[in-house]
């Protein structure tokens, strides 16, 4: 019991763990609200919690631009990734995040009436780049899983020859979790786009809550299970 409490504190003590916990809570509230009539007091209360926690996450993300820039230049643009498909998807992924954060900041300042901008237009840009970042992440991780499965069929001699580029099980496992996590969150992100975009604005509260809760749960699960690796 003490170990579990200590592990929980460790996860919640880091930024990613706190963000995942808040995300799980807000989408779980959205999921629960879908089971009650829209005019009921409980539905409105759960939706208010959902909106307030969404606002909380926006504020927490105000300085994430620097982190993305650091990750891009420190890890993703360095030479070493030999597969051009993965490299291309990673670059598109980080470019999407680099566009996402300024768009969200401008939209947020527009909502606060601090900038004279079309808040709805910037909200569209934010959700478009959010969707793009999640899609590229899911695709590159799915490609890593495919590579891992192909490599398992190699002969012993070929495995030895390509030892340096061989994908370990831990990387394939993380890729599987990331594919499902970002794939389910992509469902939510597209829902925030206008109706003319795929299933934009068509999901119910239960569907949004279900996909969002699943994505946040996988983030928490990975942090609890593999935080110290």
Distance CA 142, CA 162 (A): 21
Are 90 and 175 members of one domain? yes
Q: Which two tokens stand for residue 68?
A: 């993305």
Its pTM stands at 0.89
Structural domain includes residue 168: yes
Structural domain includes residue 198: no
9 pLDDT higher than 90: no
- Give pLDDT tens digits for 133-164: 999 999 999 999 998 888 888 777 776 666 66
Are 124 and 151 members of one domain? yes
Count Cβ atoms below 10 Å from residue 142 Cβ, excluding itself: 18
Are 102 and 168 members of one domain? yes
Distance CA 7, CA 13 (A): 10
Maximum Cα–Cα distance across the chain = 67
- Domain extent for 151: 63-193
Are 179 and 80 members of one domain? yes
Structural domain includes residue 162: yes
Of the chain, the end-to-end C-alpha distance in Å amounts to 21
Using DSSP, state whether 200 is helix, strand or coil.
coil
Domain count, the chain: 2
Are 69 and 52 members of one domain? no
Are 171 and 212 members of one domain? no
């Amino acid at each position: 019991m003490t170990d579990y409490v200590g592990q929980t504190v460790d996860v919640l003590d880091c930024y990613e763990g706190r963000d995942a916990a808040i995300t799980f809570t807000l989408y779980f509230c959205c999921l629960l609200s879908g089971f009650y009539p829209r005019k009921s007091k409980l539905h409105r209360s759960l939706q208010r919690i959902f909106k307030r926690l969404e606002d909380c996450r926006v504020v927490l993300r105000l300085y994430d631009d620097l982190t993305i820039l650091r990750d891009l230049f420190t890890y993703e643009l360095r030479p070493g990734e030999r597969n051009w498909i993965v490299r291309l998807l990673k670059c598109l992924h980080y470019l999407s995040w680099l566009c996402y954060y300024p768009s969200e900041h401008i939209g947020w300042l527009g909502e606060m009436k601090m900038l004279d901008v079309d808040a709805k237009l910037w909200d569209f840009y934010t959700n478009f780049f959010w969707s793009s970042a999640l899609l590229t992440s899911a695709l590159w991780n799915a490609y890593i899983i495919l590579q891992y499965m192909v490599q398992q069929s190699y002969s012993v001699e070929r495995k030895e020859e390509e030892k340096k580029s061989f994908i370990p099980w831990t990387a394939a496992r993380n890729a599987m979790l990331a594919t499902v996590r970002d794939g389910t969150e992509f469902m939510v992100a597209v829902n925030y786009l206008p109706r003319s975009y795929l299933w934009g604005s068509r999901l119910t509260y239960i569907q949004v809550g279900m996909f969002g809760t699943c994505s946040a749960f996988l983030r928490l699960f990975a942090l609890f299970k593999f935080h110290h690796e």
